[in-house]
Structure 1
Amino acid sequence: MTGHTHKEHSGARLIEEAEGVLKSSGEQWTAMRADVFEALASQDRPASAYDIAEIVGGKRGKRVAANSVYRILDLFVRTNLANRIESANAYLANSHPGCQHDCIFLICDDCGTATHLDDDKLTGALRDAGHRAGFADVRPVVELRGLCNECAG
């Protein structure tokens, strides 16, 4: 199926949905994890662990180590609460945390905006190619770089 649909969440509903998904995976929704997710979800473009550490530190009134944020972001990626933009070493909150699928990201080289695109036919073909090459548990990570319409303008 190409371009399947999702229940997109934002704001408080996104945070509530993320908390439920994390808890159902057997993990705890701690105050620090909540702060990191909130900070990530407030960003309109991919954010680094350092960006998130700065936001959370400002909220908490004390320095937050980027290493702690990296561990939490890695947990969020494993539990499908966030996506990692590999080429930028940055993260985006997943607006549909309960949905498991492969994502394609279109990333603007000028402004840094990342647009999420679903195309299960394309990612399925990549997954199949990996299996034919002898790989198991293949997870396509597809990023297309260029200029968004606004920057190409």
Structure 2
Amino acid sequence: MSHGPNHRLHEGAALATAAQRALERAGEQWTPMRARVFGALDQFARPASAYDIADAVSKAEGRRVAANSVYRILDLFVGANLAHRIESANAYVTNAHPDCRHDCIFLVCDVCGQTTHLDDDRITDTVRQAATDAGFEPVRPVIEVRGRCAACAAVAVTAA
């Protein structure tokens, strides 16, 4: 895996603080609702849909929060590098390194839904260069590999 010199992974309260700083640097406010949506997203062990997040925030707030509002916040988070969208699942995960901008590769388990984030700038740089060589101006490569995680692959082997 290849990273820039300032590649720091955050978790818990440190991740929320890093996300807030990144959003404010992008010229946006860290509102209470944005903080709640980010916190709810961070609590999911697997990629979460806007509906999953809206339900979690609604339960915590004791009032209904519309999925449309959550979608708008998630779009903002993706644009500010606070979250990543797992395109094939129409779901989101927090970005554990919001201070570092680079393309990510996601390994998505078709059995359990677990999604693993990899950083390999050699691969994503090659994809960007191939697009450029084809006369295309890449904005954001989305690389997702579907298959089975190690745990689900091991279960399949034992069951066979």
Write out aligned runs for 1:65-104 (5 A). 65-104=66-105
SS in 2 for 1:45: coil
- 1:149 deviates by 0.6
Consecutive unaligned residues in structure 2, runs of 5 or more: 155-160
Write out aligned runs for 1:100-119 (5 A). 100-119=101-120
What's the counterpart of residue 27 of structure 2? 26
Cα distance in structure 2, aligned partners of 1:126 and 1:139: 10
- For 2:66, give the aligned amino acid: A
- 1:116 deviates by 0.4
Give identity over the alignment, percent.
Answer: 61
Question: Which one has a bigger Cα radius of gyration?
Answer: 2
- 1:3 deviates by 2.1
Spell out structure 1 runs of 4+ moving beyond 2 A.
Answer: none
- 1:137 deviates by 3.9
TM-score when normalising by structure 2: 0.92
Write out aligned runs for 1:1-153 (5 A). 2-4=1-3, 6-153=7-154
- For 1:3, give the aligned amino acid: S
- 1:143 deviates by 0.1
- 1:59 deviates by 0.7
- 1:132 deviates by 1.3
TM-score when normalising by structure 1: 0.96
Cα distance in structure 2, aligned partners of 1:137 and 1:126: 9
Cα distance in structure 2, aligned partners of 1:120 and 1:16: 26
Kept after mapping to 2: 8 A contact 1:22/1:29: yes
